[in-house]
Amino acid sequence: MDYRHRFAKDLRTHMTDAERLLWQHLRAHRLNGQKFRRQQPIGPYIVDFVHLGARLVIEADGGQHNGDAADQERDDWLKAEGYRVMRFWNNDILQSTDAVLEEIFKAVSPSPCPSPLKGEGTLQKDPGEND
């Protein structure tokens, strides 16, 4: 097992509260039958969550990620490899879980269909965030 895989395994055992909550909704095909992986090595990086079929990376960000140049470099690399990157603040994941799940559901849905989620909420994105 190489270093990245050992590190990813360690990250899986030390998830943040926001990552743990999000994983409870994404694991085991719980989001409308979609398959996600957590702490997955992709190239030189380890992403928080990924849907390989939709080439969607989901990152749960704490305050240390606010305007971080390394995050932008990582996002640029992932985008160049054909991945879409969605970043959510930990507070949004913890306090507006349904809204975050709705955004993820829209991103992995092949066509418009009714949401499997029953709550409503608003999600405020970081003003500097690009889609």
Q: Is residue 86 part of a domain?
A: yes
Each residue's pLDDT tens digit, 15-48: 889 999 999 999 999 998 999 999 999 999 999 9
> What is the pTM for the complete model shown?
0.74
Structural domain containing residue 78: 3-108
Three-state DSSP class for residue 90: helix
Question: Residue 78 is part of a domain; what is its CATH number?
Answer: 3.40.960.10
Give the pLDDT band of residue 90 (cuts 50, 70, 90): very high
Copy the structure tokens of residue 75.
């996002």
Confidence at residue 122, expressed as pLDDT on a 0 to 100 scale: 42
Confidence at residue 14, expressed as pLDDT on a 0 to 100 scale: 65
Three-state DSSP class for residue 53: coil
In percent, the amount of the chain with pLDDT more than 70 equals 69
Q: Is residue 67 part of a domain?
A: yes
Q: Is residue 94 part of a domain?
A: yes
Query: Which residues, 6+ apart, have CB-to-CB distance to 39 below 8 Å?
Result: 8, 9, 11, 12, 15, 46, 47, 48
DSSP state of 37: E
Number of domains present in the structure of the chain: 1
Rounded to 10 deg, the angle between the 17-26 and 97-108 helix axes is: 50
Q: Is residue 123 part of a domain?
A: no
Give the pLDDT band of residue 119 (cuts 50, 70, 90): very low
Q: Is residue 71 part of a domain?
A: yes
